[in-house]
Chains A and B, each alone.
Chain A
Amino acid sequence: MWNRVVGLIIKEILVFIRDPRSRFVLIVPPLVQMFIFGYAATFDLFRVSFALYDENRTYHSREFIAKFIGSPIFRLKKEILNDSQLKDEIQKRNVLFVLHIDRRFDRDLLSGRSGKVQLIVDGRNSNTAAILTGYANQIIADYNVDWIKKSGRIPPPSQITFRAFYNPNLLSQWFIVPGLIGILTFVVSAMTIGLSIAREKEMGTFDQLVVTPLRPIEILVGKTIPGLIFAMAQATLILLAALLWFKIPFHGHILLLYLGLFFFLFAIIGIELAISSISSTQQQALLGVFFFLVPSIILSGFSTPIRNMPEPIQYLTFLNPMRYFLVIVRGIFLEAKGLDTLWDQYLPLLGIGLVSMSFSWFLFKQRLY
C-alpha cells in the first residue's frame, strides 16, 4: 500500500514542479504581495496633511504649532485665513484636518486660563480620524506637561502613563506581517488544492486515477501530502521575508510555529479537498473556494479584531482555522508564547483538521464507488 501512495505523491509533486505556471503561482505572486501589503496594510499614520488656521499669530501660538509641524505624523500643507477656506480644504480632501487656534490663545494661556484650540477632522475614513485624534491629543497633553513645568503652574493632581509590552512603539507592521504568512499561504493553497481535483475532473485525468488500484484513502493522502509540502515551502519563503526584510522580531520557538503551520494546513487542506471533490468544474470550485476564503479572512482577526464583532459572529469564528493560526503566529513572534498558553489554539485546529479530512474521505468514497 505504501508503495502506491508514495508513487502517487511523487507523481503529484512532479506534475506540479514541471508546470511552469504552477511554479510561478507558488513563488512570485505571494512574494510580491508580501512586499506590497507589508507596507500598504498599516493603520499607522505618517505625514498626514493638515491645514493651519491661526487666528492668534503670536510667538506662543507658533511655539505650540511647532509641535505639530515637528512631528513625523503630521505635515503642514497650507495656511488658511478664513472660515470658508476651512470648509473647502476639508471637503475637497486636500487635508485631513484643520488646526484652528483661537484669537485669544496667548492671552488665555498666559493668564492661567486655558488657551483654546480646535481640530476639525474629516471623518470619511472613521478609523483614520480616530487615530489622528489620538495622536493630536497626545501632542497637546505633552505640551501641557511641558508648559506646567516651565511656567510653574499647579500640576493636575494625577498623572497617567502608558507602556506597551511586546510592541513598544506600536507599529502596525509587527502585527500585520506575521499575519500575512497565514493569509498568503492560505490564498495560494486554496487556489491550487481547491481547484486541483476539479481540474483533473475537467481534463479527465481523475478517471484515470480512479481506475488504478489506489483506494480512496490513499488518493486522499497522496493529494494532501504534496499540498502540505508545497504550502510549507511557501510559508518558509514568506517567513524568511518577514524576518530578513521586514525585520519583525521573533521571540518564540520556531518549531512551535511549524507545528502550528502543520495543524493549520492540515485543517484547511481538508476543507479545500472537500470543496474540490464536490464541484464538477473549475468555475464551481473557484466559487466554492471564494465562499470559503473571503469570510475566513474577514472573520479571522487579521485586520479587525474578533472582539469587535457582534456576538453571534464571534461564535461563528470558532469554526475558522485562520483565527487560531493568527493567534499562534502572532503569539510566537511577538509574545514568545509557549505551548502552556497556546495549547487551546492547537487543539481546535487539530479537531477541525480531523473532521474536514474525514469529510473529504467520505466524499471521495461516495464519488469513487
Chain B
Amino acid sequence: MKKKLFFNNRLYAFIRKEWIQILRDPSSFVIAFVLPAILLFLFGYGVSLDAIHLPVGIVVEHPTRLSSSFESSLKNSIYFSPLSYQTIQKAQLDFQKGRLIGIIWLRGNWSRESLAFGKGTIQTIVNGTDANTARLLEGYLLGVWTGWLKREMIDQNIQLSMPISQEIRVWFNPALITKDYLVPGIIVINMTVVGALLTSLVVAREWERGTMEAMLATPLTKLEHFVGKLLPYFILGMGGMIFSFLLAVFLFKVPFRGSFWMLILSSVFFLLAVLGIGVLISNISRNSFVASMVAIVTSYLPAFMLSGFIFDIQSMPVAIQFLTFFFPARYFVSILQTLFLAGNVWSVLSWNLLVLFFFGVVVVGLCYISWKRRLE
C-alpha cells in the first residue's frame, strides 16, 4: 500500500477531480492567467518612476544671449519641458495651480553678474509635495546646469576645474530603466495572488459549502487528500509563473542573465510557502470572507510593500526591517532581481534559496499537521 502511494488509483482520481473542478470554473483561470497578465501590463507599461518631461517654468527677466543658451540646454534635455514666463508672479500662479512642479528664476541682473563676477545665482523653487519627483528634478537640473556651464566656459575660454570631479557608473541596469526592476517583482506578486489568495478562497469555500466534509467521508488517506488538494494549484501557480516569465522576457524585453533552472527551483520553494500559507489560513478560518481578507493583509500587501519590490528595505526603520524577514516574498524578490539583472551570483542566491526552502518545508509541514480529518 505504502509503496504505491503516489501512483494508486485513488489519488489519481482525486487529482483528476480537482483538476476538472478548476478547469470548469473560469474564475480560477482568470486569477491564474488573466490577472497576472493585467498586472504585468500595468507595471510594464503604466508605472514608471523615471521622471521625464517635467513641467517647469523658466522666468527670464532680461533675456540675453547667456540666458537663452541656458534656456535651450533646458529645452534639449529630455527631463524637462520648460514653459517661459516674463515675471515670477505669473509663474507662481501656475505653480500654485499645480501646472508646474518647479520654477527656475533668472533675475534681471543675472547675465551681467553671471560670468563677469561669478555671482549669478540661478534660483530654483520646487514643489516638494511629491518628494521623490522633487529630488529627481533637483538632480536632473544640477546635471543640465553643470553641462551648460562646462560648454559656456569652453566657449569663453575660461580655464577652470572643479576641486573634485565624479564619475558615476551604474551596474546591471546602466540606463536605470524602472521596468527592468519592476517586472521581475511583479512575478512575485502574481505568484502570491495565485498561491495565497486563490487557494485560501477555494479551500475556505469548500469548508463553507460542506464539500470538504464529503471528501472526508471517502477512503482517501490524509496524505493523499493533502497532496491531491495542493498539487493542482501548484501546477496552476507554476503555469502562471512560466507565463509571466515568458511575457517579461519576450514582450517586455527584460534581460534574463541567470539560470532558468535556478528560477524554477526558487519558484517551487516560494510557491510551496505561499500555497501553504493560503491553505493554513483557510483551514483555520473556514470562512471565505475572512480567509481572503487575511490572505490580502498577510501575503498580498506585504509582497508589495515589505519585499523590497518598490521600496528599499535598508532605508526602513529597524523594527520594520526585522518584520520583512518573516515574509517569504522578500527572499524571492531578491533572487529574481539578481537572476534577471545580475546573473548567477551564488552567494546571494544560495542564502535566499535556503531560507525559502526552509519556509516551504515549515509552512507545508504546519499545513499538513493542521490538516484535519475530522469535523469539530
Q: A109-B163, A130-B176 are in contact. Are A191 and B98 (CB under 8 A)?
A: no
A141 to B337, CA, bound (A): 32
Beta-carbon contacts of A259-279 to B below 8 Å, as 1s and 0s? 000000000000000000000
A119 to B166, CA, bound (A): 7
Interface residues of A in 116-173 (CB under 8 A from B): 116-131, 133-134, 136-138, 140-141, 143-144, 147-148, 151, 153-172
B374 touches A (CB below 8 Å): no
Contacts of B299 in A (CB 8 A): none
Q: Is B341 within 8 A of A40, CB to CB?
A: no
A47 touches B (CB below 8 Å): yes
Q: A133-B168, A308-B50 are in contact. Are A40 and B42 (CB under 8 A)?
A: no
Contact stretch, chosen from A90-98, A349-357, A360-368:
A90-98
B43 touches A (CB below 8 Å): yes
Contacts of A128 in B (CB 8 A): 312
How many chain B residues touch the partner (CB < 8 A)?
A: 106
Q: Is B128 within 8 A of A165, CB to CB?
A: yes
Q: Is A134 within 8 A of B131, CB to CB?
A: no
Q: Is A165 within 8 A of B126, CB to CB?
A: yes
B288 touches A (CB below 8 Å): yes
Q: A64-B164, A161-B124 are in contact. Are A309 and B48 (CB under 8 A)?
A: yes
B325 touches A (CB below 8 Å): no
Beta-carbon contacts of B39-53 to A below 8 Å, as 1s and 0s? 100110111111111
Beta-carbon contacts of B298-315 to A below 8 Å, as 1s and 0s? 000100011010111011
Contacting residue for B166 out of A118, A195, A291, CB 8 A: A118
Beta-carbon contacts of B86-109 to A below 8 Å, as 1s and 0s? 000000000111100000000000
Bin the interface of chain A by size: 35 or more
Interface residues of B in 111-155 (CB under 8 A from A): 114-116, 118-136, 138-139, 141-142, 145, 149, 152-153
A-B contact pairs, 7 of them (CB 8 A): A91-B342, A116-B167, A121-B170, A144-B162, A282-B288, A309-B47, A341-B97
Q: Which residues of A contact B (CB under 8 A)?
A: 21, 25, 29, 32-33, 36-37, 39-49, 64, 90-93, 96, 109, 112-131, 133-134, 136-138, 140-141, 143-144, 147-148, 151, 153-172, 174-175, 187, 191, 195, 199, 282-284, 286-287, 290-291, 294-295, 298-299, 303-305, 307-310, 313, 327, 330-331, 334-335, 341
